Amino acid sequence: MLTALIDSQHISSGKMADKQPGYSQAMSQVKKNDRWLENKWVDADTFYTPFIARLLSAISIQMGELVFVIDGSVIGTSCQTLMVSVRWKGKALPLLWKTIQAPKGHFPQEDHLLLLGQLSKLLSGLPAVRCVMLGDGEYDGQDWIRELQKLRFEYVLRTAKDTLLSTYDTEKFQGKDLGVGQETSLFIPDCKLSKGVFTHFVLGHETGFKEPIYLLTNLALGLLATGYYRKRFRIETLFKDFKSQGFHLHQSKLLDPEKIDRLLIICGLAYLWLVGLGTILAVRRAWVKRVYKVQKGTFNLFTIGKRLYNYLTKNRLRIPNIFQYFLKINVSV
């Protein structure tokens, strides 16, 4: 299924079946794929987590820190997926996810904490490095922040403009009532969010943002917090690559969240495989013109990986040892 997904670049069982090797008829192959998605013994802990643990270890050695992003997106029919990814070389790589049956809206905070617990368990066997969690306005819950602090994560989380905070001298305020004056940001340390939860508050108003952004963080510098927050948007490109730019996951007709979670195992592995292939052109720049027209300011490893894969298979050329580049070479893109 993995190679068939990469060949077809579509999550449809029928389109994948057309690319799968063997003498089985197309409908028989579709049924095999469906049985795999229905198999209760197929889970990410068995088929995905062992590899991603090695990947995280390599990234932590390369980068000296791990920057995580949490966000959700509509996937399948009337379902949403909450995903934690890690940032690497300008891309967000999928780590953990959970799908629920809900057409839209926010995930309950219990699901946030569930993925955070899984992430903590995943990190327990790795070398200790700095860990930073980035999240949008949905992820500013008190229990969530308390747990991040307990795990000694650094964090930058967007919050609403009407979030009520208190300064160290008990003066209450809301972000919407503040301004930055002549500066680009305002930093207020040690604000009380709730009983037992203290955090720093940052109001940023930069040229890159149409409106001011309101952040909760435990970083000591406001400009550092806004700099990290910009990296959060990388997960949007991940969902785009999973959907319209890559595997067309938004066209899935699946209704069962468990089946979608199993399908995401294949999508996650295929995504990592193609990003790893894309790093080869990031190293061997002389190959770029053969397969990819680089527009000014863009170098999408996922798109490059797809183009290079098509080029190699079309010309019956050997596919290189992809993860040698992905895990070991310090690619600068």
pLDDT 10s digits, 208-231: 567 788 999 999 888 888 888 888
Q: Tens digit of pLDDT for each residue in 162-174?
A: 888 888 777 888 8
Q: What is the pLDDT of residue 324?
A: 60
- The residues, ordered by sequence, that sit 6+ positions from 216 with a Cβ below 8 Å of its Cβ are 140, 145, 155, 156, 157, 158, 159, 163, 193, 199, 200, 201, 202
State how far the Cα of 206 lies from the Cα of 198, in Å rounded to an integer.
26
Q: What is the pLDDT of residue 162?
A: 87
Asked if residue 318 has pLDDT above 50, the reply is yes
Q: 263 vs 11, 98, 242, 260, CA distance in Å? A: 8, 12, 11, 5
Mean pLDDT, residues 24-41: 84
Q: What is the pLDDT of residue 181?
A: 60
Q: Tens digit of pLDDT for each residue in 55-110?
A: 888 888 888 899 999 998 888 778 899 999 999 877 889 999 999 888 777 788 89
State how far the Cα of 167 lies from the Cα of 132, in Å rounded to an integer.
24
Place of tokens 């790795």: 126
Please, which pLDDT band fits residue 317 given cuts at 50, 70 and 90?
confident
Q: Tens digit of pLDDT for each residue in 265-281?
A: 999 999 988 888 887 77
State how far the Cα of 152 lies from the Cα of 244, in Å rounded to an integer.
37
Instruction: Kindly state the tokens that stand for 201.
Output: 């508050």
Q: 175 vs 161, 183, 200, CA distance in Å? A: 5, 16, 12
Chain centroid to Cα 322, Å, comes to 21
Place of tokens 């893109």: 333
State how far the Cα of 290 lies from the Cα of 69, in Å rounded to an integer.
34
Asked if residue 282 has pLDDT above 70, the reply is no
Mean pLDDT for the chain overall: 83
State how far the Cα of 329 lies from the Cα of 20, in Å rounded to an integer.
32
Domains parsed from the chain with CATH numbers: 1-38 (no CATH), 45-236 (3.90.350.10)
Q: What is the pLDDT of residue 286?
A: 62
pTM here? 0.88
Mean pLDDT, residues 252-267: 90
